[in-house]
Amino acid sequence: MKVFNDAIRLQTTQKCEDINITGMVEAIISESGVYEGTATIFTGHTTASVHLNNADPELAKDLHDFLNETIPNKPAYRHNKGDFGRNADAHFKSLMVGNSVTVPINRGRMALGQWQAIYFSEFDGPRNRLISVKIMGIPVRHT
Protein backbone atom coordinates (compact mmCIF):
# COMPACT_ATOMS: atom_id res chain seq x y z
CA MET A 1 0.00 0.00 0.00
CA LYS A 2 1.31 3.40 -0.98
CA VAL A 3 0.30 6.67 0.71
CA PHE A 4 0.96 9.99 -1.02
CA ASN A 5 0.16 13.44 0.40
CA ASP A 6 0.03 16.76 -1.40
CA ALA A 7 -1.85 20.05 -1.24
CA ILE A 8 -3.59 22.48 -3.53
CA ARG A 9 -3.16 26.15 -2.69
CA LEU A 10 -5.75 28.59 -3.98
CA GLN A 11 -6.23 32.33 -3.83
CA THR A 12 -9.93 33.00 -4.12
CA THR A 13 -10.96 36.31 -5.65
CA GLN A 14 -14.61 36.73 -4.70
CA LYS A 15 -16.80 36.63 -1.59
CA CYS A 16 -18.48 33.47 -2.92
CA GLU A 17 -17.24 31.35 -5.80
CA ASP A 18 -16.73 27.80 -7.01
CA ILE A 19 -13.41 26.60 -8.42
CA ASN A 20 -13.21 23.37 -10.39
CA ILE A 21 -10.17 21.56 -8.92
CA THR A 22 -10.64 18.28 -10.78
CA GLY A 23 -7.60 18.78 -13.02
CA MET A 24 -5.42 19.68 -10.04
CA VAL A 25 -6.45 16.50 -8.23
CA GLU A 26 -5.84 14.43 -11.38
CA ALA A 27 -2.31 15.83 -11.59
CA ILE A 28 -1.64 14.81 -7.98
CA ILE A 29 -2.96 11.29 -8.65
CA SER A 30 -0.68 11.02 -11.67
CA GLU A 31 2.30 12.18 -9.61
CA SER A 32 1.45 9.68 -6.85
CA GLY A 33 1.81 6.66 -9.12
CA VAL A 34 -1.24 5.01 -7.51
CA TYR A 35 -3.04 2.78 -9.99
CA GLU A 36 -5.88 1.40 -7.81
CA GLY A 37 -7.04 3.11 -4.62
CA THR A 38 -8.74 6.23 -3.32
CA ALA A 39 -8.23 9.98 -3.28
CA THR A 40 -9.47 12.00 -0.33
CA ILE A 41 -9.76 15.73 -0.89
CA PHE A 42 -10.25 17.81 2.28
CA THR A 43 -10.32 21.42 3.37
CA GLY A 44 -9.82 22.37 7.01
CA HIS A 45 -11.38 25.80 6.45
CA THR A 46 -14.70 26.34 8.24
CA THR A 47 -16.02 28.87 5.72
CA ALA A 48 -15.38 26.82 2.57
CA SER A 49 -16.27 23.41 1.16
CA VAL A 50 -15.10 20.61 -1.10
CA HIS A 51 -17.82 18.72 -2.94
CA LEU A 52 -18.82 16.88 -6.11
CA ASN A 53 -21.16 18.56 -8.54
CA ASN A 54 -22.12 18.70 -12.19
CA ALA A 55 -19.40 20.43 -14.21
CA ASP A 56 -21.70 23.29 -15.28
CA PRO A 57 -20.60 26.80 -14.21
CA GLU A 58 -24.23 27.97 -14.19
CA LEU A 59 -25.09 25.29 -11.64
CA ALA A 60 -22.36 26.65 -9.36
CA LYS A 61 -24.05 30.07 -9.51
CA ASP A 62 -27.40 28.42 -8.78
CA LEU A 63 -25.86 26.67 -5.76
CA HIS A 64 -24.67 29.98 -4.30
CA ASP A 65 -28.04 31.63 -5.02
CA PHE A 66 -29.78 28.74 -3.24
CA LEU A 67 -27.44 28.89 -0.25
CA ASN A 68 -27.77 32.69 0.04
CA GLU A 69 -31.57 32.41 0.00
CA THR A 70 -31.59 29.50 2.44
CA ILE A 71 -28.92 30.87 4.79
CA PRO A 72 -28.93 34.67 4.90
CA ASN A 73 -26.31 36.31 7.11
CA LYS A 74 -28.55 37.50 9.95
CA PRO A 75 -27.18 40.21 12.24
CA ALA A 76 -28.92 38.36 15.11
CA TYR A 77 -26.51 35.41 14.90
CA ARG A 78 -24.37 35.41 18.06
CA HIS A 79 -21.22 34.79 16.01
CA ASN A 80 -21.91 38.00 14.10
CA LYS A 81 -22.04 39.96 17.37
CA GLY A 82 -18.85 38.51 18.87
CA ASP A 83 -15.15 38.99 18.35
CA PHE A 84 -14.86 36.16 15.79
CA GLY A 85 -16.31 37.85 12.75
CA ARG A 86 -19.43 38.65 10.85
CA ASN A 87 -19.55 35.50 8.74
CA ALA A 88 -21.88 33.06 10.50
CA ASP A 89 -23.62 32.32 7.19
CA ALA A 90 -20.34 31.16 5.64
CA HIS A 91 -19.85 28.66 8.48
CA PHE A 92 -23.39 27.29 8.07
CA LYS A 93 -22.96 26.96 4.30
CA SER A 94 -19.75 25.01 4.83
CA LEU A 95 -21.53 22.69 7.27
CA MET A 96 -24.32 22.03 4.77
CA VAL A 97 -22.11 21.40 1.74
CA GLY A 98 -19.30 19.50 3.49
CA ASN A 99 -15.52 19.65 3.72
CA SER A 100 -14.31 16.52 1.94
CA VAL A 101 -14.89 13.94 -0.76
CA THR A 102 -13.38 10.52 -1.34
CA VAL A 103 -13.16 9.30 -4.93
CA PRO A 104 -12.13 5.84 -6.17
CA ILE A 105 -9.05 5.56 -8.38
CA ASN A 106 -9.30 2.93 -11.10
CA ARG A 107 -6.37 2.34 -13.47
CA GLY A 108 -4.72 5.58 -12.38
CA ARG A 109 -7.78 7.77 -12.99
CA MET A 110 -10.58 9.05 -10.81
CA ALA A 111 -13.79 7.09 -11.22
CA LEU A 112 -16.04 10.16 -11.46
CA GLY A 113 -19.46 10.06 -13.03
CA GLN A 114 -19.86 11.36 -16.58
CA TRP A 115 -20.78 14.90 -15.50
CA GLN A 116 -19.05 15.03 -12.11
CA ALA A 117 -16.27 17.39 -11.12
CA ILE A 118 -14.62 18.24 -7.81
CA TYR A 119 -15.27 21.77 -6.62
CA PHE A 120 -13.88 24.04 -3.95
CA SER A 121 -16.57 26.46 -2.76
CA GLU A 122 -15.58 29.75 -1.18
CA PHE A 123 -18.15 31.33 1.15
CA ASP A 124 -16.07 34.09 2.81
CA GLY A 125 -13.45 35.30 0.38
CA PRO A 126 -11.26 36.46 -1.00
CA ARG A 127 -8.76 34.35 0.95
CA ASN A 128 -5.73 32.09 0.65
CA ARG A 129 -6.96 28.50 0.88
CA LEU A 130 -5.35 25.10 1.38
CA ILE A 131 -6.83 21.80 0.22
CA SER A 132 -5.22 18.58 1.43
CA VAL A 133 -5.11 15.61 -0.93
CA LYS A 134 -4.28 12.09 0.29
CA ILE A 135 -3.87 9.30 -2.24
CA MET A 136 -3.83 5.71 -0.98
CA GLY A 137 -3.59 2.54 -2.96
CA ILE A 138 -1.56 0.18 -5.04
CA PRO A 139 1.04 1.56 -7.44
CA VAL A 140 1.40 0.43 -11.02
CA ARG A 141 3.08 -2.96 -11.23
CA HIS A 142 5.60 -3.53 -13.99
CA THR A 143 6.02 -7.15 -15.04
Q: Model confidence over 17-54: pLDDT tens digits?
A: 999 999 999 999 999 999 999 999 999 999 999 999 99
What integer is the mean pLDDT of 62-66?
97
Fold of 2-63+98-139: Jelly Rolls (2.60.120)
pLDDT at residue 143 is higher than 80: no
Mean pLDDT of 80-89: 89
Average pLDDT over residues 123-142: 93
Q: What is the dihedral of CA 93, 118, 133, 42, to 10 degrees?
A: 10
pLDDT of 142 strictly over 70: no
Mean pLDDT of 59-66: 96
Share of the chain above pLDDT 90, in %: 94
Domain ranges of the chain: 2-63+98-139
Is the pTM higher than 0.85? The answer reads: yes
